[in-house]
């Protein structure tokens, strides 16, 4: 009976607390969870879709600007509320038309939840097509073969958020862009 009482007393001493290894494992796990949480909060605090779409648009406008100069053709960029497309000018028909067979110039949808606002000459541009479908709807931004570009200010915004970016084009064909998230 004496041995049983001794071993029960020893067991009670060993089970009275945590071992150093158990404590280190818990601290390590808590540290990993805190790191993951901090990284995900930081990553989710920025809107990569706004930044990606801004970079895509700047790249596309730059590429079409170069293409216009090399081919000696005028192009245009037409925006709608949730999409945009590049058009080519046909001087023989005096008509702006979609470019078929060129993946670079294909119509593009904005990601869900992104809106576009366009200012030309300091005024907000209308981004809805005319009610009369027969009436041609020219592009708002001209990309000319001479290297000139319509001066514009384009804002891409996330709905119900302060995430936005601004692309500014001047008459010399220079583009500048700024992401609000980059200033944070």
Give the chain's domain count: 2
Q: Quick one: 68 and 85 in the same domain?
A: yes
Q: Quick one: 40 and 66 in the same domain?
A: no
Q: What is the CATH number of the domain that holds 67?
A: 3.55.40.10
Q: Quick one: 171 and 107 in the same domain?
A: yes
**Which residues, other chains included, contact 184 with Cβ-Cβ below 8 Å and sequence gap of 6+?**
45, 46
Q: How far apart are CA 178 and CA 19, in angstroms?
A: 54
Mean pLDDT of 51-72: 92
Q: What is the mean pLDDT of the chain?
A: 82
CB atoms within 10 A of CB 119: 16
Q: Quick one: 110 and 132 in the same domain?
A: yes
DSSP state of 42: H
pLDDT of residue 146: 92
List the domain range (segments joined by +) for residue 169: 48-183
pTM over 0.85: no
**Is the C-alpha dihedral spanning 42, 46, 49, 55 positive or negative?**
negative
Of the candidates 116, 128, 118, the residue with the CA atom closest to the CA atom of residue 159? 116
């Amino acid at each position: 009976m004496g041995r049983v009482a001794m071993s029960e007393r020893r067991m009670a001493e060993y089970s009275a607390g945590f071992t150093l290894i158990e404590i280190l494992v818990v601290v390590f796990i808590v540290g990993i969870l805190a790191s993951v949480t901090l990284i995900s909060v930081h990553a989710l605090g920025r809107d990569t879709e706004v930044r990606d779409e801004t970079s895509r648009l700047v790249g596309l406008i730059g590429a079409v600007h170069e293409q216009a100069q090399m081919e000696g053709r005028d192009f245009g960029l037409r925006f709608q509320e949730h999409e945009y497309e590049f058009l080519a000018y046909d001087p023989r028909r005096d008509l702006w038309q979609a470019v078929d067979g060129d993946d670079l110039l294909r119509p593009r949808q904005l990601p869900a939840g992104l809106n576009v606002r366009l200012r030309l000459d300091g005024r907000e541009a209308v981004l809805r097509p005319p009610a009369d479908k027969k009436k041609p709807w020219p592009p708002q931004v001209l990309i000319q073969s001479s290297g000139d570009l319509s001066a514009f200010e384009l804002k891409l915004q996330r709905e119900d958020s302060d995430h936005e970016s601004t692309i500014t084009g001047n008459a010399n064909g220079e583009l500048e862009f700024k992401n609000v998230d980059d200033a944070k």
